[in-house]
């Protein structure tokens, strides 16, 4: 029997699918449809640790993920942007697309940073929800279908980067 390389984890922002290649987390996503969360009794050690850390994060006990991540075939620029974000923007902080572009040491534009956030294969683990527009939240492609910006807002409120909404 092979060891599962994918597990579904229920969270306050919907069920999250985490995938591993056995040595690193390769994908975190909100699956479409009505898949049910799976148990984590026989998953590989990378997935088991990812589940543990996700549960701790949503319990308010973890502010920084420490997981091996494989960014696959991403460009050097995309890797630089995601690495800079992960290294420089901590729990409870935000950064604008333009500020992140300037910090990377690349020639990527603010719009380019937005595109890279949209293709981040491991949201939550590399916290693209912390990147905002100069005049508001900006976009977000994570979360359950149709709940993208409300997911971003919830995560930022949960981390204390935004005040809770009144309504």
**Positions marked catalytic:** 128
**Cβ burial, residue 69 (10 Å; 0-12/13-18/19+):** buried
Asked if 137 and 154 count as a contact pair (C-beta separation under 8 A), the reply is no
Classify the phi-psi angles of 37: left when phi > 0, otherwise alpha if psi is within -120 to 50, otherwise beta.
beta
Q: What is the number of other CB atoms lying within 10 angstroms of the CB of residue 85?
A: 22
CA distance 16 to 94: 23
**Cβ burial, residue 88 (10 Å; 0-12/13-18/19+):** middle
**Strand-pair partners of 16:** 9
């Amino acid at each position: 029997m092979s060891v599962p390389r994918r597990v579904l984890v229920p969270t306050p922002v919907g069920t999250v699918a985490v995938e591993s290649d056995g040595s690193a987390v390769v994908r975190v996503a909100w699956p479409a449809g009505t898949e049910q969360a799976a148990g984590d009794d026989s998953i590989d050690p990378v997935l088991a640790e990812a589940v543990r850390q996700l549960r701790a994060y949503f319990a308010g006990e973890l502010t920084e993920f420490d997981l091996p991540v494989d960014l696959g075939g991403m460009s050097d620029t995309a890797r630089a942007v995601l690495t800079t974000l992960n290294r420089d923007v901590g729990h409870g902080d935000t950064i604008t697309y333009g500020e992140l572009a300037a910090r990377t040491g690349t020639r990527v534009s603010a719009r380019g940073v937005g595109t890279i956030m949209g293709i981040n294969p491991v949201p939550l683990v590399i916290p693209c929800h912390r990147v905002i527009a100069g005049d508001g939240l900006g976009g977000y492609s994570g979360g359950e279908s149709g709940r993208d910006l409300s997911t971003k807002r919830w995560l930022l409120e949960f981390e204390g980067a935004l005040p809770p909404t009144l309504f």
